[in-house]
Structure 1
Amino acid sequence: MTTKVFIDGEVGTTGLQIRARLDGRDDLELISLGEAKRKDAGARKDALNAADIVVLCLPDDAAREAVSLIDNKTTRVIDASTAHRVADGWVYGFPEMTAAQRQLVSGAARVTNPGCYPTGAIALTRPLVEAGLLPASWPLTVNAVSGYSGGGKQMIAEFEDEASSNYTLEAFRAYALGLAHKHVPEMQANMGLSHPPLFTPNVGRYAQGMIVEVPLQLWALPGAPALGGVHEVLAAAYEGARFVSVAALADSAAMTKLDPEQLNGTNAMKLFVFGNEKTKQARLVALLDNLGKGASGQAVQCLNLMIGADEGLGVNL
């Protein structure tokens, strides 16, 4: 029996990537609306209610509207927008986040796909908070840089379309300078923090791939944990994980640079513990594709779990 899937917003950046990952699968039947019907409320409602699983690749308000149009109890939803990231009744779609998360996703009627930045930040810090190495009240900073594809069609045009009125030659851009980025609430909630982290996002002049970093003054933490202790907790948290890995301390120590595009096209995320034992300082770094594990790859991973398919089916491009 095939599963009927409707991607609402399939012509957007994330929607196109999800569609590419699902095309050709004989266990799925993809419901698609022609260009003339994509903005037809009746046609969309019919498609939403005809699907076994709906994947929403829409702006927040449109995602909320789409959910309201579903009037049956059988259609399950994966929402790639920010609309339901901290909403009651929605399961956070980061399968590796906790030991129970994969099972929660597989049985959920409503799954909210995590943001790309939070995926890296949560992966780096939640195990440390749960292990007691990092107090929940600790004043954390999350520094990150992403390719411009993370900003969707408008930002892609800014960096690629010379005919665009907003075309830019910027090599690097710092943004969200008012410290109110929409990803912060889900970061705080799922990192296990008592206070919002200080989040400093940036975009570089390259299409996709990202680095998320959490710097730590180990000497100031309770017990002044060593690099090895931090690494041990992270390695144990993701032991056996299919898509999240932790680089060996020796490998990280031998590195002199890190390419944010290294994992592009994959659903992989690699974590690194860089540091200086003498100064007792650390840089915890997550490397991932903002369109892969940070968006469409993770959505497909969740879809696979929800229908009982192999978790890795179609997650890579």
Structure 2
Amino acid sequence: MAIRLFIDGAAGTTGLEIRERLQGRSEFELLVLDDAQRKNEAARRDALHAADIAILCLPDEAAKEAVKLAEGSDTRIIDASSAHRVAEGWTYGFPELIGRETIANAQFVSNPGCYPTGFLGLIAPLVRMRQLPADWPYTVNAVSGYSGGGNALIDRFEADSTIAFRAYGLTLGHKHLPEMQAYARLAHPPVFSPSVIPAHRGMVVDVPLALGAMPDVQQIEAMRETLAAFYSTGQVIVVHGPNEPPGELLLDAASAPWDGMELFVFANSDGSQARLIARLDNLGKGASGAAIQNLNIMCGLPETTGLRLDRA
């Protein structure tokens, strides 16, 4: 019997990309509300209760309301918003970091944010293995395609071709900080500098490290080996070796959807400074691809089914 799946918020960017990745998959029966019903509370409640799994592609407050609508059902939920990422009773949906079995057995799974996916992919294993200190004041410089900002930002960028760069989060209270601190097990939230460029999709997350000032820090090659070993059992995250450093890292303004993530480790000649860099698709491993990966795991299906892991 097919797994009944409801996407609440299927008309948004993340929901549309999830539906694209589900095309042709007979394992699922998609429960669909028409335009007249998709904002109707009773219709949404019925769909949430009828589904085996629901994926929420909604703003934070609407996602919380959807969870309340689902109360009394056995429906398992994947929330793509930031509403439940550090909430009690929710499992953080980063399988490589949290553990696939934990996600497989969870009723409530919260998708990671796109920027935290890159940051945590780099930092969390190294802090866990005590190769980087948990009490260091980390900084994060990141750039994303404008699709991560939702329909309003998409419209703004596509209507105004003069926008070349948008720095935001200037009050230093970005909503991604709690999950970045919690799942990297840091004593302090990082200083986070996000920005947006005129590309529809794509993301680079850059964590500079003053290794020479850190106490008892490991050699850079040991860090690279730790990351490579940590992700060696999966197919989604690739750690590039010391002989693979590119002269530059690029984001293609016309890149195709991609659900993987690349990690790079760069250092100066004496190892006193380093840059740990993640490159991913903010709509792929940063959103819709991660939801499909978690969906597969929760349904006992091969983890990468439906994912787009080949770089076009």
Matches of residues 255-274 of structure 1 in structure 2 within 5 Å?
A: 255-261=246-252, 264-274=256-266
- Cα distance, 1:201 vs structure 2: 0.2
Q: 1:237 aligns with which of 230, 235, 259?
A: 230
Residues 1:97 and 2:89 are matched in the alignment: no
Aligned residues between the structures: 308
Partner of 1:180: 173
Partner of 1:147: 145
User: Could you list the runs of 5+ residues in structure 1 that have no partner in the other structure?
Assistant: 162-166
- Cα distance, 1:224 vs structure 2: 4.2
Partner of 1:209: 202
- Cα distance, 1:168 vs structure 2: 5.6
Give the Cα–Cα distance (whole angstroms) in 2 for the partners of residues 261 and 190 of structure 1.
30
- Cα distance, 1:244 vs structure 2: 0.6
Q: With structure 2 as the length reference, what TM-score do the two structures score?
A: 0.96
- Cα distance, 1:314 vs structure 2: 1.0
Q: 2:155 aligns with which of 147, 154, 157?
A: 157
Q: 1:112 aligns with which of 110, 113, 120?
A: 110
Q: 2:129 aligns with which of 107, 128, 131?
A: 131
Give the Cα–Cα distance (whole angstroms) in 1 for the partners of residues 72 and 281 of structure 2.
35
Q: With structure 1 as the length reference, what TM-score do the two structures score?
A: 0.94
**Amino acid of the residue matched to residue 286 of structure 1?**
A
Where 1:119 maps in the other structure, the secondary structure is: helix
For the 8 Å contact 1:133–1:221, the answer to whether it is kept is no
Give the Cα–Cα distance (whole angstroms) in 2 for the partners of residues 142 and 184 of structure 1.
11
- Cα distance, 1:264 vs structure 2: 4.4
- Cα distance, 1:226 vs structure 2: 2.2
Partner of 1:281: 273
- Cα distance, 1:239 vs structure 2: 1.4
Moved more, 273-282 or 175-184: 273-282
- Cα distance, 1:261 vs structure 2: 3.8
Q: 1:194 aligns with which of 173, 187, 193?
A: 187
Give the Cα–Cα distance (whole angstroms) in 1 for the partners of residues 9 and 161 of structure 2.
27
| 1:166-190 residue CA offsets vs partner (Å, 9 max, x unmatched) | x462111111011001000010001
Residues 1:63 and 2:55 are matched in the alignment: no
Where 2:243 maps in the other structure, the secondary structure is: helix
Residues 1:51 and 2:42 are matched in the alignment: no
Where 1:14 maps in the other structure, the secondary structure is: helix
Where 2:95 maps in the other structure, the secondary structure is: coil
Identity of aligned residues (%): 53
- Cα distance, 1:73 vs structure 2: 4.0
Residues 1:311 and 2:303 are matched in the alignment: yes
Q: Runs of 4 or more off by more than 3 Å in structure 1?
A: 261-264
For the 8 Å contact 1:227–1:277, the answer to whether it is kept is no
| 1:162-214 residue CA offsets vs partner (Å, 9 max, x unmatched) | xxxxx462111111011001000010001110110100001011110000011
- Cα distance, 1:303 vs structure 2: 0.3
- Cα distance, 1:241 vs structure 2: 1.6
Distance 1:82 1:11, change over 3 A: same
Give the Cα–Cα distance (whole angstroms) in 2 for the partners of residues 27 and 34 of structure 1.
22
- Cα distance, 1:144 vs structure 2: 0.3
**Amino acid of the residue matched to residue 87 of structure 1?**
A
Where 2:45 maps in the other structure, the secondary structure is: helix
**Amino acid of the residue matched to residue 153 of structure 2?**
M
**Amino acid of the residue matched to residue 119 of structure 1?**
T
Partner of 1:10: 10
Give the Cα–Cα distance (whole angstroms) in 1 for the partners of residues 84 and 122 of structure 2.
22
User: Could you list the runs of 5+ residues in structure 2 that have no partner in the other structure?
Assistant: none
**Amino acid of the residue matched to residue 246 of structure 1?**
V
For the 8 Å contact 1:4–1:31, the answer to whether it is kept is yes
**Amino acid of the residue matched to residue 34 of structure 2?**
G
For the 8 Å contact 1:133–1:222, the answer to whether it is kept is no
**Amino acid of the residue matched to residue 233 of structure 2?**
G
